């Protein structure tokens, strides 16, 4: 008996979180529906406070090793991410088209700009200390120098749109100096962020250095702002009217909280740097 020839059915992807280099579902078991118009697209995880805390634990554990890597090595790993991203351009274009209601040309421009910007930041890795550090001519027999250091764990609330480029504008300047990150992706267009986590997972970035959560930003943002083991935040992806409350919550451990309108500026790197000054006597 012959089987009738039928069209092939796609294998649909389960979109999950990215924590400590792995792809878990939300511990809460929650998902939310993402549509393109009226068409169902995916049920990404709706991350919980517990997921956020797990992500911070992973980020904290991974941060010293990432900061300890040579700047040259960090630069190469970040550049590798751009290489892998370039190869998956078509997938990102498709996801952006589906969720952002833009033309393929516009989506392609966003992906290309994202890759180029990532490369721009990657190149900063071994210039940061030269440009933002100093030797200081103190009035005494001391050698005195100031070096920039990463702040530690940085929480990022990524913008809704452009979903990929906005994520990259926030993430790249945080990672390049040796910070680790916990990022909450665009709520309405989360697929590029999840696919980007697959890029990270195949690009030699150590597990835990970047953790990506999907879910409801308004739900997760206050937990992020009040978390005592997050050192700094980029809240560019949150509406201006909601930002003061996060800054108030963040004052509990004096988080360094920034919001940017500029793109591709060194200011976005220096906002997540501490300056450390070391003195030593000079003598025979």
Partner 1 sequence: MSIFEYAPAPESQAVVTIEPEYGLFINGKFINGKRHFPTVNPANGKKLSSISQASVADVNKAVIAARTAYVKVWSKMAPAERAKYLYRIARIMQERAREFAVLETLDNGKPIRESRDVDVPLAAAHFFYHAGWADKLQYAGFGENPKPHGVVGQIIPWNFPLLMLAWKVAPALATGNTVVLKPAESTSLTALLFAQVCQQAGLPAGVVNIVTGDGAVGAAIVNHPDIDKIAFTGSTEVGKIIARSVAVSGKSVTLELGGKGANIVFEDAAIDEAVEGIVNGIFFNQGHVCCAGSRLLIQEGIHDEVIEKLKHRMSQIRVGDPMDKNTDLGAINSGEQLSKIKELAASGVAEGAEIWSPNCALPDKGFWFAPTIFSGVTQAHRIAREEIFGPVLSILTFRTPAEAIEKANNTPFGLSAGIWSEKGSRILWASKHLQAGVIWANTFNKFDPTSPFGGYKESGWGREGGRHGLSAYLASGKAGK
φ, ψ of residue 33 in degrees (nearest 5): -90, 130
CB closer to partner 1, 22 vs 130:
130
> The tokens 């960090």 sit on which residue?
74
CB closer to partner 1, 176 vs 194:
176
> Rounded to whole angstroms, how far apart are CA atoms 112 and 116?
6
Tokens, residue 34: 């993402």
Angle, CA of 56, 250 and 16, to the nearest 5°:
35
* Least distance in angstroms from the C-beta of 223 to partner 1: 17
Q: What is the DSSP letter of 69?
A: S
* Least distance in angstroms from the C-beta of 278 to partner 1: 5
Whether residue 179 contacts residue 156, with contact meaning beta carbons closer than 8 Å, is answered with no
Please state, in angstroms and as integers, the Cα–Cα distance from residue 43 to each residue in 66, 77, 187, 199, 273, following that order: 32, 31, 12, 20, 37
* Least distance in angstroms from the C-beta of 57 to partner 1: 17
CB closer to partner 1, 44 vs 150:
150
> The tokens 């990102």 sit on which residue?
92
* Least distance in angstroms from the C-beta of 235 to partner 1: 11
* Least distance in angstroms from the C-beta of 94 to partner 1: 38
Whether residue 38 contacts residue 45, with contact meaning beta carbons closer than 8 Å, is answered with no
CB closer to partner 1, 203 vs 226:
226
Which residues contact partner 1 by CB under 8 A?
Answer: 131-132, 134, 136-140, 142, 144, 146, 151, 231, 244-245, 247-248, 250-254, 256-258, 267, 271, 274-281
CB closer to partner 1, 155 vs 250:
250
């Amino acid at each position: 008996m012959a089987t009738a020839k039928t069209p092939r059915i796609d294998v649909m992807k389960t979109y999950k979180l990215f924590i400590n280099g792995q792809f878990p579902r939300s511990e809460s078991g929650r998902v939310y529906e993402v549509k393109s118009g009226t068409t169902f697209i995916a049920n990404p995880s709706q991350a919980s406070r517990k997921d956020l805390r797990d992500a911070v634990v992973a980020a904290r554990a991974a941060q010293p090793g990432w900061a300890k890597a040579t700047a040259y090595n960090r630069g190469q790993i970040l550049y590798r991410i751009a290489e892998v991203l370039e190869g998956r351009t078509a997938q990102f274009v498709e996801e952006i088209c589906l969720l952002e209601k833009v033309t393929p040309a516009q989506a392609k421009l966003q992906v290309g700009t994202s890759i180029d910007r990532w490369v721009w930041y990657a190149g900063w890795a071994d210039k940061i200390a030269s440009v933002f550090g100093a030797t200081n001519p103190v009035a005494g027999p001391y050698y005195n120098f100031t070096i920039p250091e990463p702040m530690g764990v940085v929480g990022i609330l990524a913008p809704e749109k452009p979903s990929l480029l906005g994520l990259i504008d926030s993430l790249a300047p945080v990672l390049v100096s040796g910070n680790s990150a916990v990022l909450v992706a665009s709520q309405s267009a989360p697929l590029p962020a999840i696919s980007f986590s697959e890029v990270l997972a195949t690009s030699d970035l150590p597990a835990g250095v970047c953790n990506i959560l999907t879910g409801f930003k308004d739900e997760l943002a206050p937990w992020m702002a009040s978390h005592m083991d997050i050192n700094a935040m980029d809240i560019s992806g949150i509406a201006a009217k909601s930002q003061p409350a996060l800054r108030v919550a963040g004052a509990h451990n004096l988080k360094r909280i920034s919001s940017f309108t500029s793109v591709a500026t060194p200011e976005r790197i220096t906002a997540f740097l501490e300056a450390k000054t070391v003195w030593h006597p000079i003598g025979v």
